[in-house]
Amino acid sequence: MNKKDIIICRCEDVTYEDIFEAYNEGFKDIESLRRHLKIGTGPCQGKTCIPLLQRILFELNKEFPENISIRPPETPIPFGIFSKESKNEKL
C-alpha cells in the first residue's frame, strides 16, 4: 500500500503524506502538526491518531517526540450541557 493512501486521522481525514509534507515544511512536533493539520482535534480527540503520529515522528526524527500534550476528555460530553437553557429546564 502506498503511504499517501494511509489515513492517520479518520476524524479529520489526515493522511501519512499530509503529515510527511507538513513535517518537511517545518511542522516537526505534535503541537505544531495539530494546529496545522487539525490532527487529533476531531470527535475522538486524538485517541487513535496521536499514538500513530508519535510513531511517525519517531521514524522521521529517530527519537521519541518531547513535550507531548494529549488532552482527550476522559468521557466525551455533549455541548448542550454547557448552554444556558436545556431542553427540559432553564438554568
pLDDT tens digits for range 26-78: 998 888 999 999 998 888 888 889 889 988 988 888 766 665 555 555 676 77
Burial of 30 (0-12, 13-18, 19+ CB in 10 A): buried
Q: What is the pTM of this model?
A: 0.66
- pLDDT at residue 89 above 70? no
| Per-residue pLDDT band at 91 (split at 50, 70, 90) | very low
Tell me the domains of the chain and their CATH numbers: 3-82 (1.10.10)
Q: Looking at residue 17, what is its pLDDT? A: 93
57 within 8 A of 47, measured Cβ to Cβ? no
d(CA 88, CA 49): 37
Q: Which residues contact 45 (CB under 8 A, 6 or more apart)?
A: 71, 72, 73, 76
